[in-house]
Amino acid sequence: MKKIMVILVILLLPAMLFARGADQKPASGAGGGTLRFAWWGNPTRDERTLQLVRLFEQKNQGVTVETETTGFGGYWDNLAAQAAAGNLPDVMQQDYAYIGQYNSRNMLVDLAPFAQKGLIDLSKWSDAGLSGGRLGGKLIGLNLGVNAWGVEVDPAVLQKAGVTITDTSWTWKDFENAALQIYQRTGVQTMPTGDSTYYQIFENIARYFGSPMYSADGRSLGYTNNAAALAGIKELFDMMLRLKAAGALYDPQDAFVAGRAFPEMPLVQGKTWNNWNWSNQHVGYVAAANRPLDFYVCPAPAATGFKAPFGTYLKPSMLISMLSNSKNQDLAAKFINFFVNDIDANRILLAERGVPIPTNIMQDLASRVDPNMKYTFDYITKATTVSSAIDPPDPARAGEARNEMISPILDCLMGRISSDVANTRMVQAANAVLSR
């Protein structure tokens, strides 16, 4: 019976979310009252968040913040049950993968009017940092921690090979030249696209040519008919095949082995000079390698160079949003502002959710975090200068579509099909899934 009830809640969730979203209440004053705040967490996050809540209550006498926290999976189940009961919280921690669903049901409040009223201060926020919370013409979430894609590199190998890289201007041709020189002088190979990394690199290239990874309706790849983007991806294949012919490319089949822990990665083991990953993984790679590593911005296609629209974007590790059923929206806005902009609050959080966006917060915490986290802060500052706005969240079938693209990629890198054929098969396979 319990299992049946859970299934019914999940099936009815879209309608219930829509109903609750349509029943919006007018914002009330922020002079006192009670708020509910929900987040998914871990012991460290929970402890720091509770300290922040107590500080907010101390600074706002008469205000009570009721807190709810659980693991990631249970978090969304709890929200589904609360939606069924018409008892959602005022403020929630949001994920980029779910924010589109909540927005489509009118469940999230546009925070821009509260900024205009002076309740939320966005003066220290970059446009790129805000873009992750913008959807459908509304600002429906504020980024709690930022991430950017790039290349993890071993500086000792580069130094030994006599290679110098300026990562805010290099192209894939520069990457190829560096990879060849490194192999010729050190014998260390280059990590190709593999596992899930190919998707991020293809997306990066497509964005330089003005296309998102997915179409606006989510039913095809966004670069399906973009000849320049397709040519850029083909050139990536051709470059890797040239490296493979020269002996400089790491085994593509091994590169596609998924689920490796940091100590098992070829870069950590000294088998490659590079890896493809998110900036928040830098600290983990350094710890596993037990030696200094650097993190570079992803190269640009030679045909475009580093110019807007950039392939790089700032991705929210998570966001904070106001739910439209909140009966005290001004107070909810004040709490959100405190969470993201208050110096004392962020000294408590200490960037556990990721590198904060507001420049004053980032600068203050830079002297309080360990050197590897400080390095990540500096990388985000650099990446911001060569970033364009993030694209809308992936469509529901994106994961399945990406899986279908792996076989043509691997067939190409193993020399079984040409880059032209691989390009065509990838697009066809992905679009067949997305168009269902």
pLDDT in tens, 311-357: 999 889 899 999 999 999 999 999 999 999 999 999 999 998 989 99
The per-residue pLDDT for range 356-367, each reduced to its tens digit, is: 999 999 999 988
Neighbours of 216 (CB within 10 A): 11
The per-residue pLDDT for range 260-291, each reduced to its tens digit, is: 888 999 999 999 999 999 998 898 899 999 99
Residue 58 belongs to a domain = yes
- Residue 15, pLDDT > 50, answer no
Q: How far is CA 162 from CA 167, 192, 221, in A?
A: 16, 21, 40
The residue among 374, 371, 368 whose CA lies nearest residue 349 is: 368
Residue 168 belongs to a domain = yes
Whether 297 and 419 map to the same domain: the answer is yes
Whether 419 and 377 map to the same domain: the answer is no
Whether 115 and 181 map to the same domain: the answer is no
Helices (H) and strands (E) in the chain, counts: 18, 10
Residue 389 belongs to a domain = no
Residue 133 belongs to a domain = yes
Which range of 74-78, 231-235, 392-396 scores highest in mean pLDDT? It is: 231-235
Whether 133 and 154 map to the same domain: the answer is no
Whether 258 and 351 map to the same domain: the answer is no
Whether 179 and 293 map to the same domain: the answer is yes
The per-residue pLDDT for range 136-158, each reduced to its tens digit, is: 899 999 999 988 999 999 999 99
Whether 134 and 192 map to the same domain: the answer is no
Q: For the chain, give the percent of residues with pLDDT over 90.
A: 75
CB 337 within 8 A of CB 123: no
Whether 335 and 209 map to the same domain: the answer is no
Q: Is the peptide bond before 292 cis (omega within 30 degrees of 0)?
A: no
Residue 338 belongs to a domain = yes
pLDDT band at 71 (very low <50, low <70, confident <90, very high): confident
Whether 75 and 170 map to the same domain: the answer is no
Within 13 Å and on the Cβ side, how many CA atoms surround 427?
Answer: 19
More confident residue, 309 or 261: 309
Neighbours of 344 (CB within 10 A): 12
Residue 156 belongs to a domain = yes
Entry pTM: 0.79
Whether 363 and 376 map to the same domain: the answer is yes
Q: In what order do the strands lie in the sheet with 274-278?
A: 274-278, 149-153, 294-297
| CA–CA separation, 300 and 312 (whole Å) | 9
The per-residue pLDDT for range 207-263, each reduced to its tens digit, is: 999 999 999 999 999 999 999 999 999 999 999 999 999 999 999 999 998 888 889
Whether 180 and 293 map to the same domain: the answer is yes
What's the pLDDT at 16?
42
| CA–CA separation, 82 and 87 (whole Å) | 5
What's the pLDDT at 31?
57
What's the pLDDT at 196?
73
Provide the domain count of the chain: 2
What's the pLDDT at 104?
82
Helix-helix angle 282-289:371-384, to 10 degrees: 140
Whether 287 and 328 map to the same domain: the answer is no
CB 332 within 8 A of CB 26: no
- Domain extent at residue 180: 149-312+396-434
Instruction: Record the tokens describing residue 344, joined without a space.
Output: 């004392």
Residue 292 belongs to a domain = yes
Residue 390 belongs to a domain = no
Provide the CATH number for the domain around residue 92. 3.40.190.10
What's the pLDDT at 105?
85
